[in-house]
């Protein structure tokens, strides 16, 4: 049954700070500083489905995903006869966290990928392309298999319509595609990306439910940060063989884009990662809109986006999310994590700009949980505080871990 997360629920769960956004003297959207009209009141309010998910076993997981997709209207009309591109989150490549494989902590789980490919194939998708920007010269199949993925099972689940592409460079395409930001951009007016992101009928962001050191949270929207190819935005750009990260250019601004690539807009705000990462994230999310967002919150980690962050530790929220608008979906994800998706810039959990707030205020998607319809598991029952010590809750979540030396997930 459909349900709405009302103000009394926000207050009860410690998320009532949303009203502070209107208080005088608090942080305003950088969109307002650039004299862009505030379109948040007219931003789309698409429903978000939440399902309780306690296992990655293929059959029950597929049933859970199907229920979530049905609750948001199904996907047949969206994908039938079409090419569907699925951007996954396997940030940093194969590895472990607290002795657990990446797919049980900081990567999307291959069983969720297989379940989604099966759902897409059953809904009539003509072709399914799994994409990610890698830090390896190996094929995506080799990299994923090295991380414990059963690539053949994913292909079989997708009715042998599944292919894999590495989008860290131009790849097999004759040229890059230029994707423009509709309102002109917060930092970049456009991006040159692997043409797969343009040569597709449907775009899916399949993400993990996590904290993020730079962006505050990372789900379906932040997952799109990986669209920027390291060949053009990496520390050694331009380099079609680049295996570098994008820290120097996108995070810190120590480098400029190569000649011919759309450069940064003039700006007077502090030029640091706290402002740059959320702005790049927002610009990419608008330049390549998502048609379907699915977020794996069954098992994950808190305290950061991966094991390179010292504070990370595994948690088991037992949740699966789906929505047609990535911003709306991430807002509900953030609320389920115990965070206020409308938090002013620089307010916990956002160390700098809040990319969800930026996108809301230019009209990409609504982020006020009071305006968003949650279908399936009610949001108050899905609440799993990622930082219980920062919330006025009666009891912390039972699955909360204090360190990697604590009892690990079974």
- For residues 212-238, give the mean pLDDT: 97
Give residue 388's pLDDT.
77
Give residue 399's pLDDT.
38
pLDDT (tens digit per residue) in 116-167: 999 999 999 999 999 999 999 999 999 999 999 999 999 999 999 999 999 9
pLDDT: is 12 or 327 the higher one? 327
Torsion angle, alpha carbons of 394, 399, 400, 403, to 10? 150
- For residues 20-44, give the mean pLDDT: 59
User: What predicted TM-score, i.e. pTM, was given to this entire model?
Assistant: 0.88
- For residues 345-367, give the mean pLDDT: 97
Mean pLDDT of the chain: 88
Q: Please, which residues have CB within 8 angstroms of residue 184's CB and are 6 or more apart in sequence? A: 265
Query: Is pLDDT above 50 for 86?
Result: yes
Annotate the chain with three-state secondary structure. Answer: CEEECCHHHHHHCCCHHHHHHHCCCCCCCHHHHCCCCCCHHHCCCCCEEEEECCCCCHHHHHHHHHHHHHHCCCCHHHHCCCEEEEECCCCCCCCEECCEEHHHCCCCCHHHHHHHHHHHHHCCCCEEEEEECCCCCCCHHHHHHHCCCCHHHHHHHCCCCEEEEECCCCCCCCCCEEEECCCCCCCCCEEEECHHHCCCCEEEEEEECEEECCCEEECCCHHHHHHCCHHHHCCCCCCCCCCCCCHHHHHCCCCCCCCCCCCCCCCCCCCCHHHHHHHHHHHHHHHCCCCEEEEEECCEEECCCCCCCCCCEEECCCEEEEECCHHHHHHHHHHHCCCCCCCCCCCCCCCCCCHHHHHHHCCCCCCCCCCCEEEECCHHHHCCCCCHHHCCCCCCCCCCCCCCCCCCCC
Split at pLDDT 50, 70, 90, the class of 311 is: confident
* Percent of the chain surpassing pLDDT 70: 86
Q: Name the burial class of residue 150, with classes exposed (0-12), middle (13-18) and buried (19+) by CB atoms within 10 angstroms of its CB.
A: middle
Q: Please, which residues have CB within 8 angstroms of residue 1's CB and are 6 or more apart in sequence? A: none
Minimum mean pLDDT range among 33-37, 81-85, 232-236: 33-37
Give residue 2's pLDDT.
38
| Angle subtended at Cα 204 by Cα 385 and Cα 351, rounded to the nearest 5 degrees | 40
pLDDT (tens digit per residue) in 165-193: 999 999 999 999 999 999 999 999 999 99
Number of H helices, E strands in the chain: 12, 17
pLDDT (tens digit per residue) in 276-301: 999 999 999 999 999 999 999 999 99
Minimum mean pLDDT range among 1-5, 21-25, 33-37, 313-317: 21-25
- Determine the distance from the C-alpha atom of residue 259 to the mean position of all C-alpha atoms in its chain, rounded to a whole number: 30
Query: Which of left, alpha, beta for 328 (phi over 0: left; psi -120 to 50: alpha)?
Result: alpha
Give residue 34's pLDDT.
57
CB-side neighbour CA atoms (13 Å) of 262: 21
Query: Is pLDDT above 90 for 28?
Result: no
Give residue 227's pLDDT.
98
Query: Is pLDDT above 70 for 400?
Result: no
CB-side neighbour CA atoms (13 Å) of 371: 19
Split at pLDDT 50, 70, 90, the class of 93 is: confident
- For residues 233-246, give the mean pLDDT: 96
d(CA 71, CA 55): 20
Give residue 390's pLDDT.
63
d(CA 105, CA 161): 28
Q: What length is written for the chain?
A: 410
Query: Is pLDDT above 60 for 350?
Result: yes
Give residue 404's pLDDT.
55
- For residues 379-392, give the mean pLDDT: 82
Domains of the chain, by residue range, sit at 2-390
Structure tokens at 239: 């380099």
Instruction: Report yes or no: 133 and 168 within 8 Å, Cβ to Cβ.
Output: yes
Give residue 288's pLDDT.
98
* Percent of the chain surpassing pLDDT 90: 83
Closest CA to 357 of 5, 47, 21, 109: 21
Query: Is pLDDT above 70 for 396?
Result: no
pLDDT (tens digit per residue) in 48-77: 999 999 999 999 999 999 999 999 999 999
């Amino acid at each position: 049954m459909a349900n709405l997360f009302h103000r009394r629920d926000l207050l009860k769960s410690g998320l009532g700070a949303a009203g502070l956004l209107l208080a005088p003297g608090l942080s305003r959207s950088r969109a307002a500083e650039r004299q862009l009209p505030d379109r948040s009141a007219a931003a789309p309010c698409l429903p978000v489905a939440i399902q309780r998910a306690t296992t990655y076993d293929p059959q029950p997981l597929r049933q859970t995903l199907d229920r979530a997709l049905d609750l948001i209207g199904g996907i047949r009309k969206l994908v039938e006869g079409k090419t569907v591109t699925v951007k996954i989150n396997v940030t940093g490549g194969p590895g472990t966290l607290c002795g657990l494989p990446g797919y049980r902590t900081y990567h999307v789980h291959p069983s969720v990928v297989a379940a989604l490919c099966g759902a897409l194939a059953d809904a009539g998708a003509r072709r399914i392309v799994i994409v990610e920007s890698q830090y390896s010269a190996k094929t995506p199949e080799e990299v994923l298999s090295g991380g414990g993925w059963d690539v053949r099972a994913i292909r079989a689940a997708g009715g042998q319509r599944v292919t894999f592409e590495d989008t860290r460079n131009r790849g097999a395409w004759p040229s890059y595609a230029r994707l423009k930001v509709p309102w002109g951009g917060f930092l970049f007016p456009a991006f040159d990306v692997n043409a797969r992101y343009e040569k597709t009928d449907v775009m899916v962001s399949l993400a993990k439910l996590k904290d993020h050191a730079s962006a505050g949270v990372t789900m379906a929207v932040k997952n799109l940060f990986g669209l920027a190819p390291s060949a053009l935005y990496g520390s050694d750009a331009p380099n079609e063989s680049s295996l570098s990260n994008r820290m120097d250019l996108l995070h810190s601004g120590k480098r400029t884009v190569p000649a011919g690539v759309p450069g940064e807009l003039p700006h007077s705000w502090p030029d640091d990662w706290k402002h740059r990462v959320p702005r790049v994230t927002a610009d990419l999310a608008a330049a390549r809109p998502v048609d379907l967002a699915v977020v794996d919150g069954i098992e994950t980690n808190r305290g950061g986006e991966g094991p390179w962050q010292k504070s990370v530790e595994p948690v088991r929220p037992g949740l699966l999310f789906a929505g047609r608008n990535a911003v709306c979906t991430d807002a509900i994800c953030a609320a389920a994590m115990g965070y206020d998706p409308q938090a002013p810039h620089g307010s916990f959990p956002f160390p700098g700009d809040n990319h969800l707030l930026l996108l809301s205020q230019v009209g990409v998607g609504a982020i006020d949980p009071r305006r968003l319809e949650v279908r399936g598991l009610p949001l108050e029952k899905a609440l799993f505080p990622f930082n219980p010590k920062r919330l006025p809750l009666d009891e912390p979540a039972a699955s909360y871990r204090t360190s990697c030396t604590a009892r690990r997930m079974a």
